[in-house]
Amino acid sequence: MSLVFHFFSITRLGLSKELLSACAVLQKYLESSNPQMDEETKLAYTSMLHYWLKLSCHKEADPDLISLHLTDFRAVSPQLLEFIINMADANGNTALHYTVSHSNFPLVAKLIETGLCHVDQQNKAGYTAIMLTALAASQTESDMDTIKQLLKKGNVNAKANQAGQTALMLAVSHGRLEMVRALLASAADVNLQDDDGSTALMCACEHGHAEIVRLLLANPECDVAQSDNDGSTALSIALEAGQNDIAIMLYARLNFAKAISLVSCFL
């Protein structure tokens, strides 16, 4: 497809002359087999990156305005839309990272509905947008529905570069019961360990989140006997933290598991 055709296609859209020019240059680059950017392409990229991040990454970003831009960029080509929507700033954060962090879930929905967001894209700290949902504040049932859609589209068990924590561990440490429930429903692995060998259950015990401990223990895959790099278990962590109610729950689960094992020996 020629650059001339692209130019006449996009001039019908509601984009400024500068953006039209940047779109044309970037589309030409995407169609080429050369991964290196020339000076013209670098300028177009910088211009588009600045515009896109300024438009989409602030707390009050307008979902309807963004939606119009998504339609305009897709009209040039889905390839260009995918390229723009996944642009990242100097810290590796994309529009999806920012919109999740700002709890702007109507905009999150617009982004993931394109089907072109790289939802597992990590920022320089190794965090994905899914991990950041553990820290976001969902206000409505619609917000939680959007979060669940995001969880379905990515890897809920990815680990951050820093400390190796998962989305489940982050949700647990911040006491986010509904997020823990959503992550478990999306096949989050309850037994994964971070760089220190800690699990989500150990984290819940340390922070005294009894309801979350109860929720994790309801998962039949939850391994209560796991130990971290120092040899500590969820039970020893709970006792050390003075979380006696949690320790009782763990003790009951451990003894139940032993009883089941003993019965199995006689069957």
How does pLDDT run across 40-60, given as a tens digit for each residue?
A: 999 999 999 999 999 999 989
What are the start-end ranges of the H helices in 114-186?
129-132, 141-153, 167-173, 177-185
Residue 190, CA distances (Å) to 120, 185, 194, 237 in order: 19, 11, 12, 17
Would you place residue 2 in the very low, low, confident or very high pLDDT band (cuts 50, 70, 90)? very low
Give the chain's length.
267
Would you place residue 135 in the very low, low, confident or very high pLDDT band (cuts 50, 70, 90)? confident
For residue 87, pLDDT beyond 70: yes
For residue 156, pLDDT beyond 70: yes
| Predicted pLDDT of residue 137 | 82
Q: What does the alpha-carbon distance between residue 33 and residue 16 come to, in Å, rounded to a whole number?
A: 28
Q: Return mean pLDDT, the chain.
A: 89
Residue 14, CA distances (Å) to 17, 63, 70, 72 in order: 9, 16, 11, 7
For residue 82, pLDDT beyond 70: yes
For residue 211, pLDDT beyond 50: yes
| Predicted pLDDT of residue 254 | 87
What would the two tokens of residue 217 be? 């223990």
| Predicted pLDDT of residue 257 | 53
For residue 263, pLDDT beyond 80: no
The DSSP output letter for 45 is H
Residue 207, CA distances (Å) to 49, 237, 240 in order: 40, 10, 11
b/e sequence 135-165, b meaning 16+ C-beta within 10 Å: bbebeeeebbebbeebbebbebebbbeeebb
Closest CA to 246 of 230, 235, 231: 235
| Predicted pLDDT of residue 9 | 45
Query: Collapsing DSSP states into helix, strand and coil, what is residue 134?
Result: coil
For residue 265, pLDDT beyond 90: no
| Predicted pLDDT of residue 14 | 66
Q: Do 24 and 6 touch, CB atoms closer than 8 A?
A: yes
For residue 207, pLDDT beyond 60: yes
Q: Please compute the mean of the pLDDT values over residues 182-194 and round it to a whole number.
A: 96
Q: Please compute the mean of the pLDDT values over residues 52-79 and round it to a whole number.
A: 94
Identify the residue with better confidence: 57 or 255.
57
Burial class (CB within 10 angstroms; exposed 0-12, middle 13-18, buried 19+) of 182: buried
Would you place residue 139 in the very low, low, confident or very high pLDDT band (cuts 50, 70, 90)? confident
Q: Please compute the mean of the pLDDT values over residues 238-250 and round it to a whole number.
A: 94
For residue 261, pLDDT beyond 50: no
Query: Collapsing DSSP states into helix, strand and coil, what is residue 219?
Result: coil
Q: Do 91 and 57 touch, CB atoms closer than 8 A?
A: no
